[in-house]
């Protein structure tokens, strides 16, 4: 069995719904087992957002998703990361998860795992590409093998519409107030990325 992990962090649920699509794509490959996990929220954010309806609803929807552990990373042959944008970069919650995996990195235990990214922003030019590219850097330090989102397979990118998708990552635009939902084309590209990571992991790891 090839194992694909789908770890994500999602404050308002956009990345969560994109990661369900990515997980679905990975699960389409015969002989692939998929595990969806969420990166733990900071207590300070839980407190600060405790009266925001959009936050409460999004967290309620995710409450049964298990919290990501470093053992999950060891388990996986392929990893599809769900990383929303914070000031053009990954959120601290995700960085904390990466940084606390230092012993795995030092022992080379993450090397050769196939990986890729799904991201999101509030606005079209708010940093989808920068989040993907800056998140790629620690993944390369881990020794992972990066899978992008080629145009040939993802012609939906060839548009001037305000949707997600770039050669670097699957993505979506949440809207400045978070009220937009992923376009069907965003889900399709996330699904294809999940499948591509699963197929590549299967080829490399059996």
Two structure tokens written together for 93: 């919650």
Considering the complex, what minimum distance in angstroms separates the CB of residue 74 from ligand FMN?
Answer: 26
10 contacts ligand FMN (rule: CB under 6 A) = yes
SS (H, E, C) 25-75: HHHCCCCEEEEEEECCCCHHHHHHCCCCHHHHHHHHHCCCCCECCHHHHHH
Contact segment (CB under 6 A) with ligand FMN among 121-129, 146-154, 159-167, 185-193 equals 121-129
Measured at CB, which residue is nearest to ligand FMN? 126
84 contacts ligand FMN (rule: CB under 6 A) = yes
Two structure tokens written together for 122: 């509030």
User: How far, in Å, CA of 202 to CA of 206, rounded?
Assistant: 5
Considering the complex, what minimum distance in angstroms separates the CB of residue 144 from ligand FMN?
Answer: 22
Binding pattern for the stretch 125-164 against ligand FMN, x by CB under 6 A and - elsewhere: -xx-------------------------------------
Q: Which of 120, 154, 157, 200 binds ligand FMN (CB under 6 A)?
A: 120
87 contacts ligand FMN (rule: CB under 6 A) = yes
Strands (E), the chain: 2-8, 32-38, 78-84, 114-121, 145-146, 170-173
* Rg, C-alpha atoms of the chain: 16
98 contacts ligand FMN (rule: CB under 6 A) = no
Summarize as ranges the residues that interact with ligand FMN (CB under 6 A): 10-16, 84-88, 120-123, 126-127, 174, 178
């Amino acid at each position: 069995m090839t194992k694909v992990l789908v770890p994500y962090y999602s404050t308002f649920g956009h990345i969560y719904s994109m990661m369900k699509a990515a997980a679905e794509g990975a699960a389409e490959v015969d002989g692939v087992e998929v595990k969806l996990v969420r990166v733990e929220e900071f207590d300070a954010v839980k407190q600060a957002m405790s009266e925001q309806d959009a936050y409460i609803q999004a967290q309620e929807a995710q409450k049964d998703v298990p919290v990501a552990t470093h053992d999950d990373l060891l388990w996986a042959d392929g990893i599809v990361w769900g990383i929303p944008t914070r000031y053009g970069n990954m959120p601290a919650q995700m960085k904390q998860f990466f940084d606390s995996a230092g012993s795995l990195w030092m022992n080379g235990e993450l090397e050769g795992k196939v990986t890729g990214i799904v991201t999101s922003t509030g606005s079209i030019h708010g940093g989808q590409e920068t989040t993907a590219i800056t998140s790629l850097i620690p993944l390369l330090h881990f020794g992972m093998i990066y899978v992008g989102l080629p145009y040939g397979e993802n012609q939906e990118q060839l548009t001037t519409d305000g949707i997600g998708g770039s050669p670097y990552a699957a993505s979506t635009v949440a809207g400045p107030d978070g009220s937009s939902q992923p376009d069907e084309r965003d889900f399709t590209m996330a699904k294809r990325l999940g499948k591509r990571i699963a197929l590549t992991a299967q080829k490399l790891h059996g």
